[in-house]
């Protein structure tokens, strides 16, 4: 091998040794590391589940457990009660959505659980409007209204037109709890252009953990067939059962759906 070729080979060898940090006198640097592969996040489920919890506002059992759940949800707060403002401010501070749980006349009797400031079908137009406005003003951070009881009132076109007119003026949604299959709320909401959504399922109409678990199973079945689901639970009579079952169900539900507030599903 002639001198020129020998020099070329030596230079090439030196270059390779320098590249790998093996040449005497060269910095003992490690080879450049390949960039780490970006962490692959699981896809966000497209389906949406809105959970609404009724009957806050009176220091009812389960209130704290519901507000502390680590998911977006909506709390429906009764106006004019002992913890109305506290619960609304507390829930809002914890990132929960707030709506007014408006007491409305049922078909059967006038239960004491109806609460103060109730909307009844024997009231004048002016009094209905006054009571709806007062209830909304009573609940801080309210972004909507739903009916507490109300199987009679929600089937009365005169009453619901006034209620929904106030909602439109205030920029609020209306959630029909669907205590009456013959509710006229949806029809009038569409006429007035009020954003509206309907409850599909009560979580704890039977106040046992087993029943709430059964209803969670029903949510999963529905979300296999449809894109969204709206359900209602309660504080009070179910106590801690509803929040406990929900807390346990969150990981599995999150693989199937995304938790949202009810306003996101109102159309």
pLDDT over 80 at 81, yes or no: yes
Query: What residues does CATH 3.20.20.370 cover in the chain?
Result: 48-265
The confidence score (pLDDT) of residue 132 equals: 98
Which pTM value belongs to this model? 0.83
How crowded is residue 29: how many other Cβ atoms within 10 Å of its Cβ?
10
Question: Regarding beta strands 258-260 and 201-202, do their DSSP bridges make them parallel or antiparallel, or are they unpaired?
Answer: unpaired
Tell me the residue ranges of DSSP E strands in the chain: 48-56, 74-77, 97-104, 142-149, 173-176, 196-198, 201-202, 228-234, 258-260
The confidence score (pLDDT) of residue 38 equals: 63
CA angle at 191 for the pair 78 and 102, rounded to the nearest 5°: 5
Question: Regarding beta strands 258-260 and 142-149, do their DSSP bridges make them parallel or antiparallel, or are they unpaired?
Answer: unpaired
- CATH 3.20.20.370 for domain 48-265, yes or no, is yes
Q: Hey, what are 150's tokens? A: 């109300």
Q: Could you report how far apart the first and last alpha carbons of the chain are, in Å?
A: 85
CA angle at 41 for the pair 40 and 43, rounded to the nearest 5°: 125
Q: From residue 17, how far is each of 20, 24, 33, 115, 204 by CA, in Å? A: 5, 9, 17, 85, 73
Length of the chain: 267
Q: Hey, what are 213's tokens? A: 């678990």
More confident site: 13 or 92? 92
Split at pLDDT 50, 70, 90, the class of 151 is very high
pLDDT tens-digit profile of 223-251? 999 999 999 999 999 999 999 999 999 99
pLDDT over 70 at 3, yes or no: no
Cβ atoms of 215 and 245 within 8 Å: the answer is: no
For residues 202 and 142, give the distance between their C-alpha atoms in angstroms, rounded to a whole number: 22
- Backbone φ/ψ region at 174: left (φ over 0), alpha (ψ -120 to 50), beta: beta
Percent of the chain with pLDDT over 90: 80
- Backbone φ/ψ region at 234: left (φ over 0), alpha (ψ -120 to 50), beta: beta
More confident site: 21 or 129? 129
pLDDT over 90 at 108, yes or no: no
């Amino acid at each position: 091998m002639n001198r020129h070729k020998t020099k070329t080979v030596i230079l090439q060898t030196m270059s390779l040794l320098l590249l790998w940090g093996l040449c005497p006198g060269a910095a003992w640097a490690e080879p450049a590391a390949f960039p780490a592969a970006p962490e692959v996040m699981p896809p966000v489920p497209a389906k949406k589940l809105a959970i609404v919890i009724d009957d806050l506002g009176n220091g009812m059992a389960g209130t704290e457990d519901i507000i502390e759940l680590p998911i977006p949800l909506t709390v429906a707060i009764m106006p004019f009660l002992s913890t109305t403002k506290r619960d609304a401010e507390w829930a809002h501070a914890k990132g929960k959505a707030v709506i007014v749980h408006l007491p409305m006349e049922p078909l059967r009797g006038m239960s004491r659980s109806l609460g103060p400031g109730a909307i009844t079908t024997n009231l004048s137009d002016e009094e209905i409007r006054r009571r709806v406005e007062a209830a909304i003003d009573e609940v801080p951070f309210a972004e909507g209204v739903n009916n507490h009881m109300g199987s009679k009132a929600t089937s009365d076109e005169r009453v619901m037109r006034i209620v929904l007119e106030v909602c439109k003026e205030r920029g609020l949604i209306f959630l029909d709890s669907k205590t009456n299959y013959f509710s006229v709320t949806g029809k009038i909401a569409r006429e007035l252009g009020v954003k509206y959504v309907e409850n599909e399922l009560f979580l704890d109409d039977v106040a046992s953990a087993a029943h709430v678990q059964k209803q969670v199973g029903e949510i999963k079945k529905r979300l296999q067939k449809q894109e969204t689901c709206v359900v209602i639970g309660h504080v009070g009579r179910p106590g801690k059962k509803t929040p406990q079952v929900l807390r346990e169900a969150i990981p599995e539900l999150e693989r199937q759906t995304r938790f949202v507030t009810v306003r996101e599903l109102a159309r």
